[in-house]
Amino acid sequence: MSATSFGWLVLAFPLAGLLVIALAWRVLPGRSAGWIGSAAILGSFLSSIAALIDLQDHAENNRQLVDSAWTYASTADFNVDLAILVDPLSVFMCLVVSGVSFLIHVYSVAYMGGDRGYARFFAYLNYFVFSMLLLVLAANFVLLIVGWAFVGAASYLLISFWYRRGTATYAGIKAFVMNVIGDVGLVIAAFLLLRETGQLDYLGVFEAAQDEFSRNDGTLVAACLLILVGAFAKSAQLPLHTWLPDAMEGPTPVSALIHAATMVTAGVYLIARCFPLFELAPTAADVSAIIGTLTLLMAASIALVVTDLKRVIAYSTMSQIGYMVLGVSVGAYGAGLFHLMTHAFFKALLFMGAGSVIGAMAGIQDMDRMGGFKRAMPFTFVTFAIGALALAAFPLTAGFFSKDEVLAFTINRGGGFWVLAIVGYLAAAATAFYAFRMVFRVFYGEAVPEANELEGGHVAHGEPVNPMTGESEDTDVGFPGPEHHIAERSLPMKVAMAPLAVLALVAGVVAVPGVTDTLETFLDPTFESSRYHDTAPTEGSELIGLGIGGLISLTAIGAAFVVYLRRRGLTLELRDRFARVHGFLAHKWYFDELYDAVFVRPMATLGTFGRRVIETDFVQGFIVGGTTGIVRAGTSFARAIQTGFLRAYALLLLFGVAALVLYFLIAS
Amino acid sequence: MDVVWFLVLSAFIFVIGAAGVLTRRNPLVVLLCLELMLNAGNLALIAFSRMHGDGDGQIFALIVMVIAACEVVIGLGIIVAMYRRRLPIDVDEMSELRG
Amino acid sequence: MWFEQVLFFIAALGALAGALGVVMLRNPFYSVLALVGHLLALAVLFLLLHAEFLAAAQVVVYAGAVMVLYIFVVAYIGGSDEPLRPEGGLVNAFGPLFAAAIGVELCIAFLASGLKAIDTRGADIGSAFGNPGGIGELLLTKWLVAFEAASFLLLVAAVGAVVLARRRRGLEEEGAAPGPRRPTPETETLEVRA
């Protein structure tokens, strides 16, 4: 079997899993829906590995393989095929996506065990993985857009999984609408590229672009900016980022899978994939780098003050994706993608750990009410701490190598990029700080009642309420189930979290500067035409960068230690003294309010206007009422003749006869 | 004898009948006036038949008589039915055809 | 011949008088009688036109059968005397007007030289014109279809009359006299003048 047939298998397994679960869910016993879903993703992962092996068998210059299953449309000028592209980049993405997805499926088998919508959840998850794999395997913009849209739909379905919760459905709608904005940008970009180059498949477009466009050509910059719109909507960067914190309404495995490891990285993948276009339009690439940097700073600042555990992790995701976007925008494709991979590992791990903690808290997510779980939940504590260390880029963890490599590349570009790099280092300090803020607040300190209960032997149970608004719920379908699962009690969860913890620690080994560059060489065939290919920073500068990064990380962790463990109450003092700043950060830089005022309210007013004036008064009253009024008046007029009065009819008859006779008289 | 006089007479009778149809309110009398009009037609037909020396006109007039008889029968039947139902015997009251 | 002319004028006057009587007499019974007179005058006119069979048919069938039928119905129903000048209304004003207009037009047509085909004397006629034999021969040869159709029509009319006039069960109140209800206070207000 060739690499491309393995590529089709990668797509076929989750699709099959989806169909089986969706069609047969009523007859599937117990938790088998979960195992079927997980098995499907495992099949996908194994197929990715097989594709990888087969791909490496090809010669180095022959590793971009396209296979077409079917032609959608065939015109005189070009064809649109249902085609997949199996090359190092897509295989890399497949491995990351399917691998992490498999572990999350296993985690969910236990975590979603008591939920009435269990089978539905796994159907949706499989659908999501299928869409994501379709997105990364697509060989042309059409299939990319199909996968893009499917992923958006899957995200909506999964965010509003607990559909009877009002906040969840609103969040799902918000995510979907913002994703659609991105979709529109992407589609228009595809149109522009089609018009200029006459092709839609990647390899064709990238080649034709070299000939068609001069450097920084207006149309190309426009197309790239539109691609960025799509990428930023999906990856939750400024200004289309407001949906990601709200998306935490979904179940924790959803947050782990979609909003940490895979879907939000689709934008990064897209920018990396379209790198020839971005290199031809440096303006767009620079815009992308700047926005990535702004986002990572903004998100890190918000994560410092937010108190909902999942939202801290969400903002951290936003921030880390900023790093990835920065990486692939400055030409550090290998580094950016490496950070994508390591981020997938430690972020999924963090979310899984958070899920465990929230389970122990019987659904409460507020960090203000957590504390002292270290003794009660040792496994969760260890894995969570590992994840936090990786996030903070603690020396020798995976995150350390990946994040600092990105920053090293940025510095290497020189000029204005120094500013971006410095901002990056600042945010790295903040990242380390808030990562350990989470660890110290949740696991250290005084044990809260739930933790004591847990040590005593049973998981706390509270009334089911909406964690955001406090309104009470039940545990029937559409709401979370009555059971709360923690990793300590549940083998599947441990089995899922352990490999990630290991990977978060050791995955850095694939890209130690100067020692190994496995990832770079692997991704080489895709990126060899890049102009930055040979401008990697020297070993020395990389090591310096790593050193600086490590130092920052350690300092920030130390600071967090002091603030949260030694000097209690300091944070409260700071909050009171800098109340305005704190308010600004706690309100997420007032973006939601801004969008509400600029977009939502005018649209609502327009809609009301449309309903009242246009629909009711104009259409109903004037057009419909007017037309019927005219007809009615006309017929009333005609009805007046129908008096039913016999003699009047006779009179008319006679009148007609008289006229007729007169006519004949005159005519003859 | 001038055939024209017969025709003029027939016109007068027709006109009188028409005026009666329009003016009277008792349906019986309306039917009678209808008979007048039919008879006027008959007279004209026979006058023309005499003028052309053709028997066809008389046949026509005979058939008209038959038809008049049938129409009278039905008309009177309707009036009797109206009477039986206690409806007022007045053409102005019969306005069910009102639209 | 002068004899014919005198007879014509007498018959014509009789016909016109009968016609006017039908229209203007208030009591329907008298109107029926006026029509009978009119029919008899018309029969005389038919005789003058050499239509002997038709004259006989007119007297026997029309005046004899149809009018008798009328008299039966008038006797059954009775008829209230209508006022001479009915209450206004457009129809009452324009009806006679249009009728008069038609009359004028027709006279113009007949008397003026407009209708060229009218001959004063009439064609020469044979002995078979107008007598039963001649009529019968025409009916059974040239106008056979019309004859058969007319007889069919008579059958239909007879059946229709029976259907119309039969008593339907459940519609008649037992013991109540037929005829329009005497206006009771509540029905009075319901009558709508068209």
3-state secondary structure A528-563: CCCCCCCCCCCHHHHHHHHHHHHHHHHHHHHHHHHH
**Residue B5 pLDDT level (bands cut at 50, 70, 90):** confident
Which of residues 28 through 87 in chain B touch C, CB cutoff 8 A? 28-29, 31-33, 35-36, 39, 42-43, 46-47, 49-56, 58-59, 61-63, 65-74, 76-81, 83-87
Residue B65 lies in a domain: yes
**Residue C120 pLDDT level (bands cut at 50, 70, 90):** low
Cross-strand bridge partners of residue A84: A67, A138
Q: Which of B6, B18, B74 faces C164 most closely, judged by CB atoms?
A: B74
**A348 touches A340 (CB < 8 A):** no
Residues 6+ apart with CB under 8 A from C182: none
Q: Is the pLDDT of residue C36 over 50?
A: yes
The total domain count for chain B is 1
pLDDT of residue C121: 59
Q: Which of B14, B22, B65 faces C57 most closely, judged by CB atoms?
A: B65
Give the residue on A whose Cα is nearest the Cα of B95: A644
Q: What is the dihedral of CA A477, A481, A487, A491, to 10 degrees?
A: -60
Q: How confident is the model over A601-616, as pLDDT tens digits? A: 888 998 888 888 877 7
How distant is the Cα of C171 from the closest Cα of chain B, in angstroms?
Answer: 8
CB contact (8 A) between residue B35 and residue C35: yes
Mean pLDDT score, B90-96: 76
- Please give the Cα distance from A485 to A251 (Å, whole number): 12
In chain C, what are the domain boundaries?
A: 1-80, 128-166
pLDDT of residue A182: 92
Q: How confident is the model over A150-204, as pLDDT tens digits? A: 999 999 999 999 888 888 999 999 999 999 999 999 999 999 988 888 888 888 8
Mean pLDDT score, A430-447: 88
- Please give the Cα distance from B87 to B65 (Å, whole number): 30
CB contact (8 A) between residue B69 and residue C66: yes
HSE-up (13 A, CA, CB side) for residue A248: 25
- Please give the Cα distance from C44 to C57 (Å, whole number): 12
Which of residues 54 through 113 in chain C touch B, CB cutoff 8 A? 54, 57-58, 61-62, 65-66, 69-70, 73-74, 76-77, 79-80, 82, 86, 91-92, 94-96, 98-100, 102-103, 106-107, 110-111
**Chain A contacts of B21, Cβ < 8 Å?**
647, 650
pLDDT of residue C86: 53
- Please give the Cα distance from B42 to C45 (Å, whole number): 11
Give the residue on C whose Cα is nearest the Cα of B19: C96
CB contact (8 A) between residue A654 and residue C95: yes
Place of tokens 């920030």: A556
CB contact (8 A) between residue A644 and residue B97: yes
**Residue C188 pLDDT level (bands cut at 50, 70, 90):** very low
Residues 6+ apart with CB under 8 A from A527: A89, A275, A333, A334, A533
How distant is the Cα of B63 from the closest Cα of chain A, in angstroms?
Answer: 23
Decide if B82 touches A, using CB distance below 8 A. Answer: no
Mean pLDDT score, A483-498: 82
Least confident of A65-69, A579-583, C120-124: C120-124
Choose from B21, B78, B79 for mutation: most chain A CBs within 10 A.
Answer: B21
Between chain A and chain C, how many beta carbons pairs sit less than 8 Å apart? 37
Tokens, residue A493: 């969860």
**Residue C187 pLDDT level (bands cut at 50, 70, 90):** very low
**Residue A511 pLDDT level (bands cut at 50, 70, 90):** confident
Report helix, strand or coil for A138. Answer: strand
Least confident of A295-304, A460-469, C58-67, C72-81: A460-469
Mean pLDDT score, C30-57: 93
CB contact (8 A) between residue B46 and residue C53: no
CB contact (8 A) between residue A655 and residue C114: no
- Chain A residues bordering chain C (beta-carbon distance below 8 Å): 643-645, 647-648, 650-651, 654-655, 657-658, 661-662, 665, 668
**Chain A contacts of C98, Cβ < 8 Å?**
651, 654-655, 658
**A490 touches A114 (CB < 8 A):** no
Q: Which of B18, B21, B96 faces A644 most closely, judged by CB atoms?
A: B96
Which chains are adjacent to chain A, needing at least 3 Cβ pairs under 8 Å?
A: B, C
Report helix, strand or coil for C97. Answer: helix
Choose from C2, C26, C72, C77 for mutation: most chain B CBs within 10 A.
Answer: C77
CB contact (8 A) between residue C91 and residue A644: no
**Residue C183 pLDDT level (bands cut at 50, 70, 90):** low
pLDDT of residue C169: 67
CB contact (8 A) between residue C194 and residue A645: yes
Q: Is the pLDDT of residue A270 over 50?
A: yes
Claim: this prediction has a pTM higher than 0.80: no
Distances from the Cα of A202 to the Cα of A213, A282, A367, A664, angstroms: 16, 19, 46, 86
**B90 touches B26 (CB < 8 A):** yes
Q: Which CATH number is C1-80's, of 3.60.10.10, 1.20.120.1200, 1.10.1200.10, 3.30.200.20? A: 1.20.120.1200
Q: Is the peptide bond before C180 cis (omega within 30 degrees of 0)?
A: no
Residue B95 lies in a domain: no
Mean pLDDT score, A553-573: 82
Mean pLDDT score, A219-238: 91
Q: How confident is the model over A248-263, as pLDDT tens digits? A: 988 999 989 887 778 8
pLDDT of residue B38: 95
Q: Is the pLDDT of residue C88 over 80?
A: no
- Across all residues in chain A, what is the average pLDDT? 86
pLDDT of residue A324: 92
**Residue C191 pLDDT level (bands cut at 50, 70, 90):** very low
One-character DSSP codes across A204-240: HHHHHHHHH--TT-HHHHHHHHHHHHHHHHHHT-TTS
- What DSSP state is assigned to residue A80? E
Q: Is the pLDDT of residue A403 over 80?
A: yes
Q: Is the pLDDT of residue B77 over 70?
A: yes
pLDDT of residue C122: 60
Give me the domain span that covers residue B80. 3-84
How distant is the Cα of A663 from the closest Cα of chain B, in angstroms?
Answer: 17
CB contact (8 A) between residue C118 and residue B74: no
Here the CATH number for the domain that contains residue B20 is 1.10.287.3510
Q: How confident is the model over C101-115, as pLDDT tens digits? A: 888 888 887 777 544
**Chain A contacts of B98, Cβ < 8 Å?**
642-645
Measured between its terminal Cα atoms, the distance across chain A in Å is: 100
Which of residues 22 through 61 in chain B touch A, CB cutoff 8 A? 22
- Please give the Cα distance from B43 to B9 (Å, whole number): 9
Decide if B97 touches C, using CB distance below 8 A. Answer: no
For A98-130, give one letter per residue: b (16+ CB within 10 A) or e. bbbbbbbbbbbbbbbbebbbbbbbbbbbbbbbb
For A393-404, give one letter per residue: b (16+ CB within 10 A) or e. bbbbbbbbbbbb
Mean pLDDT score, A427-444: 90
Q: Is the pLDDT of residue A397 over 90?
A: no
- Please give the Cα distance from A321 to A427 (Å, whole number): 12
CB contact (8 A) between residue A651 and residue C98: yes
**Residue A388 pLDDT level (bands cut at 50, 70, 90):** very high
A429 — phi, psi (to 5°)? -60, -45
* Residue A157 CB neighbours (<10 A): 21
**Residue A206 pLDDT level (bands cut at 50, 70, 90):** confident
